[in-house]
Amino acid sequence: MALTLDAPLVSTQWLAEHSQDTDIRILDCSLIMQPNEDGSYGFVSGIDVWKESHIPNSIYVDVGGELSDQTHEFTLMMPDPEAFAATLKQKGIGDNTAVICYDRSNHAWAARVWWMLRVCGFDNAAVLDGGWKKWLAESREVSTELTSYPSATTFTLRHRPELMVSKEEVRAACDEQETLLLHSLPLPMFNGEVSPYKRPGRIPGSVNLYCETLLDPESNCYIAKELLQEKFSPSHSLEQKRVITYCGGGIAASANALALTLAGQNNVAVYDGSLTEWTADPDMPMETGEAVSN
């Protein structure tokens, strides 16, 4: 029987003690930011940096490649759940395993994989609190071994479509009093002062809370539950019937979805296409300028 994880986060100490457990699957989910000449940016696979050094017994998973829909018009979209489950099974993730996700930045990539697992009904997963940054800061063991896991025998798919919403659902939510739209990128992007997308600004009626402000800057860990609740308080995120998080492509939005879960909001969804999809459609409205924001 697999080790059962009872919280969305695990500590570096916990992982150091359990990294060699036979039913643990440790996933390095990092993508690496790559600036473009026009001032925009993209992301490339982190496989090379994983090969150079990683947490022992971890494998690399490519969120931008094997864990995204390669047939979709927009990048980083979640693949068909059955295809996603098949990829996970091939990677060694199944009903009798526990999954720990980590990345080399602000937890957003790890949170994205954690959230996609939830969409598929796989709940025995957690994010490494503090990630690679804290692991290195504590001088913990690292490895260059090219680890792999045997394919899993079974992965029981329990699709939860309500956890990942479409453009049409978000458009409808703009007119709903009981649904809060939470923009997860920095405030200048929310206000439309800067934008790497087709059009600047935010989805109308949304509020802003940048996902990285929910981390302790020194440890890279999520701040305590009480402090998270204080951060979400101005937007009344925790009192809303439902919260939909969004960003550029559903990554920072997943980090905020994780933070909301930690703070006690149990009805959260991620807008998969986020601003990449929304701003490409001229029929979708946008707002700019100052608004209510955390």
- In tens digits, what is the pLDDT along the chain, a chain of 294 residues? 578 999 999 999 999 999 999 999 999 999 988 776 665 667 889 999 999 999 999 999 999 999 999 999 998 999 999 999 999 999 999 999 999 999 999 999 999 999 999 999 999 999 999 999 999 999 999 999 999 999 999 999 999 999 999 999 999 999 888 999 999 999 999 999 988 889 999 999 999 999 999 999 999 999 999 999 999 999 999 999 999 999 999 999 999 999 999 999 999 999 999 999 999 999 999 999 987 444
DSSP 257: H
With tokens 């692991």, the residue in question is 135
Distance separating alpha carbons of residues 156 and 135, to the nearest angstrom: 32
What dihedral do alpha carbons 161, 163, 166, 167 form, nearest 10°?
160
Distance separating alpha carbons of residues 254 and 162, to the nearest angstrom: 14
Distance separating alpha carbons of residues 149 and 198, to the nearest angstrom: 41
Q: What is the CATH superfamily name and number for domain 9-159?
A: Rhodanese-like domain (3.40.250.10)
What per-residue confidence (pLDDT) applies to 293?
Answer: 41
Instruction: Supply the CATH classification number for the domain 162-278.
Output: 3.40.250.10
Distance separating alpha carbons of residues 137 and 153, to the nearest angstrom: 37
Closest to 204 in 3D by CA, of 172, 178, 164: 172
What per-residue confidence (pLDDT) applies to 291?
Answer: 78
- SS3 call for 225: helix
**Residues 152/35, Cβ–Cβ less than 8 Å:** no
Residue 25, C-beta contacts closer than 8 angstroms, at least 6 positions apart: 59, 91, 92, 93, 97, 98, 99, 100, 149
Distance separating alpha carbons of residues 141 and 60, to the nearest angstrom: 17
What per-residue confidence (pLDDT) applies to 33?
Answer: 80
Provide the residue type at 75 as one letter: T
Helical spans, DSSP H, in 26-107 = 47-52, 81-90
**Residues 180/207, Cβ–Cβ less than 8 Å:** yes
Give me the residues paired with residue 27 across strands: 59, 101
Distance separating alpha carbons of residues 65 and 230, to the nearest angstrom: 36
Q: What is the pTM of this model?
A: 0.95
**Residues 126/5, Cβ–Cβ less than 8 Å:** yes
**Residues 123/85, Cβ–Cβ less than 8 Å:** no
Whether 9-159 and 162-278 share one fold: the answer is: yes
Q: Are strands 164-165 and 268-271 parallel, antiparallel or unpaired?
A: parallel
What per-residue confidence (pLDDT) applies to 154?
Answer: 95
Long-range contacts of 192-198 (CB under 8 A, 24+ apart): 192/286, 192/287, 192/288, 192/289, 195/279, 196/39, 196/40, 196/41, 196/248, 197/248, 197/275, 197/276, 197/279, 198/279, 198/280
Give me the residues paired with residue 127 across strands: 9, 101
The overall longest dimension of the chain from CA atoms, in Å, is: 53
Sequence ranges of the domains in the chain: 9-159, 162-278
Distance separating alpha carbons of residues 72 and 294, to the nearest angstrom: 33
